Structure 1
Amino acid sequence: MKATVLKVTKGSDIRGKQMSIFMKKTKTWRDYLNFSQSTDISQVGERAKERLVFLGINLETVNHVRQASQILLPYKDEIVNQFYDRLLAVDHLKKMINEYSTVERLQQTLGKYLEQFLCAEIDQEYIMTRIMVGKTHSRIHLTAEHFISAHHFLIQFMTSILMEKLHQKPDQMIQMVLAIQKLAAFDQQLIVEVYMEETVKTFLFGVSDMLNQTTQLDTTKKLILSMDRQKEESYSVSAATEEMSSSIQEVADNSVKVAEGTEQAVQSADQSKVVIDGALDDISQVGQVYRQVIEQVNQLGHEIKQTQAVVKIIREIADQTNLLALNAGIEAARAGEQGRGFAVVASEVRKLAEHTKEQITQITSNMDSLRKVSTDVIQQIKHTGELVERTVTEAQHTRDVITQIISRMKEISQATSHIAAMTEEQAAVVTEIADRNTVIYDHSSQTQEVAKDTAKIIYDLSMKMDQYRLSFFDINVKLSSIDMIRVAKTDHLLWKWKIYNMLLGIQTIDPEQISSHEACRLGKWYYGDLPPFVKENSAYKELEEPHKDVHRFAKIAAEEYAKGNIHGTEQALQQLEQASNKVIHLLSKLESVLSSK
């Protein structure tokens, strides 16, 4: 601090003045420390009165401050300037000033503060301004340590000026200095207390918000159930893949057998083709022989016709010979004895002609039979030839078909071999899938265990956070109705959170430990002394029933879980969640109403 700050050092010797102070003092120090059990300042609340009584502040103190203001107010600007010169010399305070405001604005604010302080009108407005200062300090993170140090600068400035100006009036000087110190202590207590409360609330509601967010981490149960289903599916898939692998392996084995059988069939077909080709060649030769036979039979028929023509001529000759012999006999008979020898010859010739005729008739008959048989044979041979020709044609077609069949069988053999190879590969792939699915099953089990461990860690952490949150209430922090609502939200979200973790097997809850809706923090506030505008609000009136349900279903859930009735516990949790959501909704509405007041 600069030497110019304390003007008491100018124009005289301080030591001499201090000595003169003690020489002129007519009272002992005990005379200035009379404390009463009450105060005559009445324009403040009971809590503020308690502080005033503790510090010994009354109307007499106020009057002394006002008397001091006559001396101090002329130095207001200098005090303000000296104050900020001192603060700006500290780097982190200078940084904070530049971050949140300006020196000029803060100088104006401090000037108004000094005016109000020295005016000493201690009423609700006075207290509210100190409360706002404390809240501002909490918001900008100006610690109580720095505030108290800075505030003491102001006290030092004011007491130094008073000591300089009133050194010849020690009683008046002591009265004013003590009054300034008492009121400054009152301000410090108010501001620091509000700062501490606001800071504590910041931590309290910060922890509450984290807890509120933590209670939303209710996916662990879904994850665990999902892992259960995944494990079941993995097991089913493993069983199916094992069965499919066995089936595919069986198909592969059969495919190999089919491929081998097809290969043998192809070889047999090739051999059969050779035999069939030989048979077809023989059939073709038979066809050629039949064609030759047909030609020869046709030639035979032609010869028979020729022979019949010759026989016919011979018959005609025999008939002529017989006729000539007959005529010769007739002529020989006419000749008598001379013709007897000729008659004999004629008779022999006629006999020969008759015999020839008989033979010719027999030959003709035989030739007719032969011709008939030949005709039948020709017809049969022609029919057989047609059959042979047709057989040759069909045999040639059969050769082509057999060639195509063998070609197709070779393709089938190749395809079957390929199928067998692919089936074996598929069997290997399915086996690998089964192995991987087993790994997935193991990983699912591990993931499920990790999820349970994580859920327990999160729950344990949330309980430690709640213990830390509850420790703030031991500090005797004054909570407004809005603050109580925020705290109540967390309280009821935690109940749902505890029941949820009970279902996971992480937490055990004794049903008897669940308090009634009247005994919990929200219940005490709800049924406590509240302003009429709060109790008349519709959200306030609607809050009672769902609040009762939260406690009722929480207890039912704990009781059902103790019985081992998981389904009943889950149903109670669902009803608890519905009631809790309604409570949170109504509390939020009520919070909005209170915030607007």
Structure 2
Amino acid sequence: MGKNGNTQTISKFALDGEQKKDLVTAGKLVAPKLDEVLEFFYAFAKSDQEASGFFKSQDSLNHARGAQKRHWELLLSGEFSDDYFKSADTIGRVHFRIQLPFDLYLAGYARATSFIQEMLSQQFGATYTPMARKRMVRLLGALNRAFAMDSYQVIDAYFAAQREEQDTAFRYMTEGIQRMSERDLTQPIPSPEESDFPARYDVVRTSFNTLMDSMGGVIGTIQDSAANLSSSAGEISDAAEELSSRTETQAATLEETAAAVEEITASMKQSSGATTETSSLAREAQGIAEEGMAVASDAVEKMNEISSSSDQISQIISVIDDIAFQTNLLALNAGVEAARAGEAGRGFAVVASEVRALAQRAAVSAKEIKDLINVSSGHVDEGVDLVSKAGEVLERIVGHVKRVTELSSDVASSAQEQFTGLSEINTGVSHMDSVTQQNAAMVEQTTAATVTMRQDTRVLAELVQTFQVTGAAQAGRPAPTAGGWEQEQPGPEASAA
């Protein structure tokens, strides 16, 4: 409070002008008794359990007593100098620092004032005249107003210190909240040891810093998660695009495969029919080969019969040859005999000659026939061998044809099974083609959704990146304990109220 304010306060409490003189007069009467007043004042302080807690030792009580005496001396001097107002301001600030309750302070002042009034009344008691009584009333009134103003000054300093402390705390809190509103979570409110932040509000500071650290942790986690999510979304988006491309390619390939399988199924169906027909033809060929084998067997048998007949004919020709030979001998003998007979046997000789010629011709013919029969027999033997070989070949052909028939039957059965399997595969491939087409559509939808998620994630990441956060929150320190009168420091300059 400035000088003008102090002057106004003095005037409000009627302690200027003539009233000031009354205070000076009363002060001169009370000053010699101040030690007695202080003894009474601090006797109350020591006897009260709550009040005594503010004095840790006799030294602290003596220190407070001395300071209070000097202050009252300044008050009772009636000068109301800067020293007095500084002293009142110091007392009020000390009361605030140690959180002295108002009731204790006012009760002590009331007791001290009453004690001073009794002392002053006793001094006027011996010469109690109306004029003296009037003078006593003026002096007591001046004392009452002085102590009331003093209480006001101390309490005003108390509240001023409280406002300053609150303003300091609110300034730090406001700055911190302002930084938070600007998305800066890196600057916690410093502790009372590191700044002028009031220790009395350290719980609020600690709570604020804890909140900021928690928010920083959450924002940091969101930032990391957003970055990871953005990266994952990018990977998912790229994978979805690649999957979409592959799915489209797979769908096209599967469609071509379905068409190819359908063609193979149709071809397999034709092959199955052809294989069935081949099996039937093989069975017919087997029957024809078996018939040929039977014919060859009959031919071999007939050739053997021809060979036997040729042998019989050869035997007959041999007989004819013998007969021709005997006939020739007989004709020769007949010719000899006819020659002996002379003219009589000439006709017989001619006949014998003709018979001989016929016998020779029969022998030649028989020889030729025999040679032909021998040649025919050779040919028949060769024919028999060839027919036998043909029979063996036909038998082998029949065996192979039979094997071919069995294989053709197996192939036909396998072809039918393959046709059935390919038909099922064709159905499955067609279903897969349909499912792949649906998957391709779903992949396109997923790709679109992933692109949207990637954009949203980018927006979220950009939003949380605007926050500035620290790695760890600063922990608040415990508030210092309240001090007593012995911790009193030189009071600050009087501040404007």
RMSD across aligned positions (CA): 4.3
Q: Aligned partners of 1:309, 1:65: CA distance in 2, in Å?
A: 193
Q: Aligned partners of 2:334, 2:408: CA distance in 1, in Å?
A: 81
Equivalent residues of 2:230, 2:461 under 8 A apart = no
Taking structure 1 as reference, are residues 377 and 459 closer, same or farther at Cα in structure 2, changes over 3 Å only? closer
Task: Give deviations 1:280-336, integer Å, cap 9, x for gaps.
Answer: 211211111111111111221122122112212221222122123222322343344
Taking structure 1 as reference, are residues 177 and 79 closer, same or farther at Cα in structure 2, changes over 3 Å only? farther
Q: 2:223 aligns with which of 218, 222, 227?
A: 218
TM-score in terms of structure 1 length: 0.53
Structure 1 range deviating more: 334-343 or 323-332: 334-343
Q: What is the aligned partner in structure 1 of residue 365 from structure 2?
A: 359
Q: Aligned partners of 2:227, 2:254: CA distance in 1, in Å?
A: 39
Q: Aligned partners of 2:34, 2:453: CA distance in 1, in Å?
A: 72
Equivalent residues of 1:234, 1:441 under 8 A apart = yes
Q: What is the aligned partner in structure 2 of residue 262 from structure 1?
A: 268
**Post-superposition offset of 1:459:** 6.3
Q: Aligned partners of 1:255, 1:380: CA distance in 2, in Å?
A: 53
**Post-superposition offset of 1:384:** 2.3
Equivalent residues of 1:66, 1:118 under 8 A apart = no
Q: Aligned partners of 2:447, 2:110: CA distance in 1, in Å?
A: 82
Q: Aligned partners of 1:183, 1:419: CA distance in 2, in Å?
A: 103
Q: 2:291 aligns with which of 285, 294, 303?
A: 285
Count of aligned positions: 371
Q: Percent identity?
A: 18
Q: 1:396 aligns with which of 402, 412, 425?
A: 402
Q: What is the aligned partner in structure 1 of residue 116 from structure 2?
A: 166
Q: What is the aligned partner in structure 2 of residue 386 from structure 1?
A: 392
Taking structure 1 as reference, are residues 343 and 252 closer, same or farther at Cα in structure 2, changes over 3 Å only? same
Q: What is the aligned partner in structure 2 of residue 12 from structure 1?
A: none
Q: What is the aligned partner in structure 1 of residue 213 from structure 2?
A: 209
Taking structure 1 as reference, are residues 449 and 218 closer, same or farther at Cα in structure 2, changes over 3 Å only? same
Structure 1 range deviating more: 175-184 or 340-349: 175-184
Equivalent residues of 2:45, 2:108 under 8 A apart = no
User: Is 2:126 aligned against 1:157?
Assistant: no
Equivalent residues of 2:300, 2:388 under 8 A apart = yes
Task: Give deviations 1:75-103, integer Å, cap 9, x for gaps.
Answer: 3476446x9xxxxxxxxxxxxxxxxxxxx
**Post-superposition offset of 1:180:** 6.4
Structure 1 range deviating more: 342-351 or 262-271: 342-351
Q: Aligned partners of 2:18, 2:435: CA distance in 1, in Å?
A: 99
Aligned residue identity for 1:301: S
Q: Aligned partners of 1:189, 1:318: CA distance in 2, in Å?
A: 183
**Post-superposition offset of 1:364:** 1.1
Q: What is the aligned partner in structure 2 of residue 329 from structure 1?
A: 335
**Post-superposition offset of 1:235:** 2.3
Task: Give deviations 1:3-55, integer Å, cap 9, x for gaps.
Answer: xxxxxxxxxxxxxxxxxxxxxxxx94458999xxxxxxxxxxxxxxxxxxxxx
Q: Aligned partners of 1:223, 1:426: CA distance in 2, in Å?
A: 34
Counterparts of 1:11-410 in structure 2, within 5 Å, are 28-30=14-16, 70-76=39-45, 79-80=48-49, 112=56, 116=60, 119-120=63-64, 151-168=101-118, 169=120, 170=140, 190=161, 193-194=164-165, 196=169, 197-198=197-198, 199=201, 201-202=205-206, 205-206=209-210, 208-209=212-213, 212-213=216-217, 214=219, 217-219=222-224, 220-221=226-227, 223-336=229-342, 339-340=345-346, 343-410=349-416
Aligned residue identity for 1:322: N
Aligned residue identity for 2:104: L
**Post-superposition offset of 1:357:** 0.6
Q: What is the aligned partner in structure 2 of residue 465 from structure 1?
A: none
Q: Aligned partners of 1:404, 1:32: CA distance in 2, in Å?
A: 145
Equivalent residues of 1:311, 1:363 under 8 A apart = yes
Q: Aligned partners of 1:32, 1:336: CA distance in 2, in Å?
A: 239
Task: Give deviations 1:116-139, integer Å, cap 9, x for gaps.
Answer: 5884388xxxx9xx99x97xx9xx
**Post-superposition offset of 1:416:** 1.6
In our comparison, the structure showing a higher alpha carbon Rg is 2
**Post-superposition offset of 1:279:** 2.1
Q: Determine helix, strand or coil for the equivalent of 1:166.
A: helix
Tell which has more relative contact order, 1 or 2 (C-alpha 8 A, sep 6+).
2
**Post-superposition offset of 1:455:** 4.3
Q: Determine helix, strand or coil for the equivalent of 2:223.
A: coil
Q: Aligned partners of 2:244, 2:433: CA distance in 1, in Å?
A: 14
Taking structure 1 as reference, are residues 192 and 212 closer, same or farther at Cα in structure 2, changes over 3 Å only? same
Unaligned runs of 5+ in 1: 1-26, 35-63, 84-107, 138-146, 463-493, 498-580, 593-597
Q: Aligned partners of 1:289, 1:449: CA distance in 2, in Å?
A: 92
Aligned residue identity for 1:205: N
Q: Aligned partners of 1:204, 1:67: CA distance in 2, in Å?
A: 51
Task: Give deviations 1:260-283, integer Å, cap 9, x for gaps.
Answer: 221122122212322222122112
Q: 1:439 aligns with which of 420, 424, 445?
A: 445
Task: Give deviations 1:456-480, integer Å, cap 9, x for gaps.
Answer: 65467x5xxxxxxxxxxxxxxxxxx
**Post-superposition offset of 1:183:** 5.3
Unaligned runs of 5+ in 2: 1-12, 21-32, 68-89, 121-139, 170-196, 478-497
Taking structure 1 as reference, are residues 457 and 80 closer, same or farther at Cα in structure 2, changes over 3 Å only? farther
Q: Determine helix, strand or coil for the equivalent of 2:117.
A: coil
Q: Aligned partners of 2:302, 2:53: CA distance in 1, in Å?
A: 149
Q: Determine helix, strand or coil for the equivalent of 1:218.
A: helix
**Post-superposition offset of 1:342:** 5.0
Q: Aligned partners of 1:459, 1:181: CA distance in 2, in Å?
A: 54
Q: Determine helix, strand or coil for the equivalent of 1:333.
A: helix
Q: Aligned partners of 2:113, 2:15: CA distance in 1, in Å?
A: 16
Taking structure 1 as reference, are residues 253 and 217 closer, same or farther at Cα in structure 2, changes over 3 Å only? same
Equivalent residues of 2:106, 2:151 under 8 A apart = no
Taking structure 1 as reference, are residues 309 and 218 closer, same or farther at Cα in structure 2, changes over 3 Å only? same
**Post-superposition offset of 1:192:** 6.6
Q: Determine helix, strand or coil for the equivalent of 2:255.
A: helix
Equivalent residues of 2:276, 2:408 under 8 A apart = no
Q: Aligned partners of 1:329, 1:424: CA distance in 2, in Å?
A: 112
TM-score in terms of structure 2 length: 0.62
Equivalent residues of 1:301, 1:374 under 8 A apart = yes
Structure 1 range deviating more: 364-373 or 168-177: 168-177
Q: Aligned partners of 2:337, 2:151: CA distance in 1, in Å?
A: 211
Q: What is the aligned partner in structure 1 of residue 423 from structure 2?
A: 417
Taking structure 1 as reference, are residues 336 and 206 closer, same or farther at Cα in structure 2, changes over 3 Å only? same
Q: What is the aligned partner in structure 1 of residue 74 from structure 2?
A: none
Aligned residue identity for 2:223: D
Taking structure 1 as reference, are residues 115 and 436 closer, same or farther at Cα in structure 2, changes over 3 Å only? farther
Counterparts of 1:525-564 in structure 2, within 5 Å, are none
Equivalent residues of 1:73, 1:115 under 8 A apart = no
Taking structure 1 as reference, are residues 345 and 452 closer, same or farther at Cα in structure 2, changes over 3 Å only? closer
